Amino acid sequence: MARTLDGERPSLVTLYFQEVDHVGHVDGPDSREVLEAATHLDAALGQLLDGITRLGLSDRTDIIVVSDHGMTKHTDDMMIFLDDAADPKTMNVISTGELLQAGAQTEGIGGLRTTDAVYGALHGKLPHLAIYRGNEVPTHYHYRGDPHIAAIVGIPDEGWMVTTREQEARRRPDADARRGEHGYDPAIRAMHGLFVAAGPHVRRKASSWRPFRTFTSTISSARSCI
């Protein structure tokens, strides 16, 4: 295990394995490729545990494996085009994808000059997309009351993505496929994460816990592996 500059072993070491997430986006959460990626992750964790054992640290090291989100299926026909409600150039489109953020267009000619105008142009106009004013986003998202949140927020249904025709036209022909996405309502089961803990300091009397919330996800599968 690594040591700090003063020769002390750190009390916390973090690692991030991105393969399962990447493959889930490209091939989908239920694909054979995701199972292969999970197998690679399992092998990497095995190497980590073997190293801890060789160093004689098993009696003082706890291992926690956690995912920061889930993944759900997406197909190319699950796209929401802003153009079907209003010209995107008449508003300030800040972000698209699994979360729309937009605001009034304060420059140029013919733009939607107020938040109410943008809201009126989009609200109820696009299937599979719920439009909110920034201070009216449902409380369970924990996404309101901050100046960095856009004046208009759009939340797609599970698996759907927001885009514009111009964005799709710019998409490279050799771009990765889009078969899995995340970032949707945390109440959706497919968005739930995973939490697995093992080690000498993990409570031994419980083999599992009830689901609990993290900053970005609901943990619906929590287990103590003792």
pLDDT at 107: 79
Give the number of domains in the chain: 2
What are the residue ranges of helices labelled H in 5-103?
19-27, 32-54
Question: Is 7 domain-assigned?
Answer: no
Q: Report the greatest alpha carbon distance in the chain.
A: 70
Report yes or no on 216 lying in a domain: yes
Residues 206 and 152 in one domain: no
- pLDDT value, residue 184: 95
Question: Do residues 85 and 125 lie in contact, with contact meaning Cβ atoms separated by under 8 Å?
Answer: yes
- Residue 27: inside a domain: yes
- The reply to whether 54 and 24 lie within a common domain is yes
**CATH at residue 122:** 3.30.1360.180
Question: Would 46 be classed as within a structural domain?
Answer: yes
Let me know: does 219 contact 193? Beta carbons within 8 Å: yes
Q: Are residues 155 and 89 in the same domain?
A: yes
Q: Are residues 128 and 211 in the same domain?
A: no
**Domain identity same for 69 and 114:** no
Residue 202: the pLDDT is 87
pLDDT recorded at residue 170: 96
Same domain, 152 and 205: no
Shared domain check, 70 and 83: no
Residues of the chain with pLDDT under 50: 218-226
Structural domain of residue 159, as residue ranges?
79-178
Each residue's pLDDT tens digit, 72-82: 999 999 999 99
Q: Are residues 93 and 59 in the same domain?
A: no
pLDDT tens digit sequence for 59-74: 999 999 999 899 999 9
User: What's the confidence (pLDDT) of residue 225?
Assistant: 43
Shared domain for 51 and 142, answered yes or no, is no
Global pTM reads 0.85
| Residue 4 resides in a domain | no
Q: Judge whether 190 and 30 are in contact, CB under 8 Å.
A: no
Do both 136 and 87 map to the same domain?
yes
